[in-house]
Structure 1
């Protein structure tokens, strides 16, 4: 392939990558809508509200029926539902949790207005976002830098560090230092998330290790092609379907669910749980991240075995043969 052909091939490849990135980032944002979104409905007129919701949006909500308002609030705080509609005294009231998803909170507020027939429905934010980030914009913006820095660290460790032991040490160091430093900026300086600093730093470090470990592990196991596979997976699938600025149930399915099985989506869910909900709902995203960490270590081990040369394997010394 001459220089002209190579230039054309690179340009076409870059254009295709650009098209994929536009689809990956713009398509989910253009198709935001509730899909089996967990909410609660309680109170004397609960049956009427449930029937109205089923008739108007049959596949939009996964509705539970707690006994009373206190139980509905508990379900919100435990991350079992995103919000609740409470009927009884006067028009329906809406309970939301903007910390779980500002986008869902806005949709439930609009729904309350439709049900009550009033310009402004009565809304109670049970678990609110941080006062320094009332719209959740800064929180949603955290995930992309965590993913990009993890990809960058993984690429550098893959290309510059020759030994598997060195790569593993680099991953651990990046996770620890990156987690502490990122939360010092996010919580200490910008003050946009509440919660215990060390717990949040541990989550950020786990995310950093998981993303960079995927790049390093695949590179060690299958070569440089692994760098591209891991990086593109995190960038084109993991980040746009992380639901960091919305909710998994608002994204086209099954992509919303798939996004939660990748480190960026698990990171957003785990950070929300630790920062705002005292750890409620943290189990699944934590397990997802730990599986990615374990997979990275297994791939590194596979790479170590792959890199061993036959002449590095000790051969047994010959057994002397005596003749009588």
Structure 2
């Protein structure tokens, strides 16, 4: 029994309104609740113990504080991506080390934190501790706006590529070849654009291109693989990576600033893994790259498996090319 046009129009309108509410919630809610949640910070120097205690009392649950023996080891922790910043105590006072390349939003939080350790002096004296950015963001993108702006188009174009391959290429094996070619060309082109004309990312060109290519392969291969099992897979992939993965990627903030456990979950989806890996390749000489590489590789393998299953199902339902219907007898 067919539904009337009025019922269909009502259903579409209600569905679209619900989708709009979901999208607004997915994109706005994490950003509206940014705050440090066990953010890794190092404390070092002769007053490390009292400073760590004071930090814990000032912002309970906000920081995961570890102590290091000296400033050099604190700087290594930042360079190895084991911490977002450090508080260095010395007889002459307190200094705060930040890394805006890891997250400009966190660097701003640590800049504000420096005021907590300002000694009580005359208001006319500028007594705030010195703040040093030891791993700075790109000078052409100091607040990371351009870096964060790359995340959504990269994921959207990868999903669009999967949809185009699904509708334009019939055989799953050729779709897989199309995914590889798309990832290669997209990685090389996007890296050239980001490092050349827009000047958003430093670091080795081939490393940046490889990260972008790995992101495209993970998203496109998985969505194309889901679609090979049924066209509804395109919608499933879009919801998973666009409505869930992108807001939780922390590309413009940090996983530890998102409500828990969503920041951690986001790192196991391609958008979050891609943002972390791009930062590692561009600013930290590959430090902290192991997990995001494994995440992107895992999604790519999953997509390849789904494409293989789709190819097997397609062969099972495809008529044998060698079996032809008998020709009618001549009379």
TM (norm. structure 2) is 0.92
Of 231, 241, 246, which aligns to 1:234? 241
1:213-260 superposed Cα distances (whole Å, 9 cap, x missing partner): 121001112x01111011111111110000000000000111101100
Judging changes above 3 Å, is the alpha-carbon distance between structure 1 residues 60 and 206 closer, same or farther for their aligned structure 2 residues? same
8 Å contact from structure 1 (residues 158, 215) kept in 2: no
CA distance in structure 1 between the partners assigned to 2:66 and 2:30 by the alignment: 27
Of 194, 209, 215, which aligns to 1:207? 215
Q: Does 1:265 align with 2:272?
A: yes
CA distance in structure 2 between the partners assigned to 1:275 and 1:37 by the alignment: 22
1:9-47 superposed Cα distances (whole Å, 9 cap, x missing partner): 111111111100111111101110111111100111111
5+ long unaligned stretches in structure 2:
120-125, 323-331
* Alignment-derived partner of residue 252 in structure 2: 245
8 Å contact from structure 1 (residues 179, 205) kept in 2: yes
1:127-162 superposed Cα distances (whole Å, 9 cap, x missing partner): 000111111111111111100101111111112211
- CA deviation after TM superposition for structure 1 residue 308, in Å: 2.1
CA distance in structure 2 between the partners assigned to 1:265 and 1:94 by the alignment: 27
Matches within 5 A, 1:149-168: 149-168=157-176
CA distance in structure 1 between the partners assigned to 2:237 and 2:213 by the alignment: 18
* Alignment-derived partner of residue 113 in structure 2: 111
- CA deviation after TM superposition for structure 1 residue 314, in Å: 10
8 Å contact from structure 1 (residues 270, 286) kept in 2: yes
CA distance in structure 1 between the partners assigned to 2:59 and 2:116 by the alignment: 13
- CA deviation after TM superposition for structure 1 residue 309, in Å: 2.8
Aligned residue pairs, count = 314
CA distance in structure 2 between the partners assigned to 1:190 and 1:305 by the alignment: 44
- CA deviation after TM superposition for structure 1 residue 278, in Å: 0.3
* Alignment-derived partner of residue 295 in structure 1: 302
- CA deviation after TM superposition for structure 1 residue 112, in Å: 0.9
CA distance in structure 2 between the partners assigned to 1:288 and 1:74 by the alignment: 25
Of 33, 45, 48, which aligns to 2:47? 45
CA distance in structure 2 between the partners assigned to 1:119 and 1:154 by the alignment: 56
CA distance in structure 2 between the partners assigned to 1:119 and 1:7 by the alignment: 65
* Alignment-derived partner of residue 282 in structure 2: 275
* Alignment-derived partner of residue 220 in structure 1: 228
CA distance in structure 2 between the partners assigned to 1:207 and 1:167 by the alignment: 17
* Alignment-derived partner of residue 308 in structure 1: 315
* Alignment-derived partner of residue 83 in structure 1: 85
- CA deviation after TM superposition for structure 1 residue 312, in Å: 4.7
* Alignment-derived partner of residue 202 in structure 2: 194
5+ long unaligned stretches in structure 1:
316-324
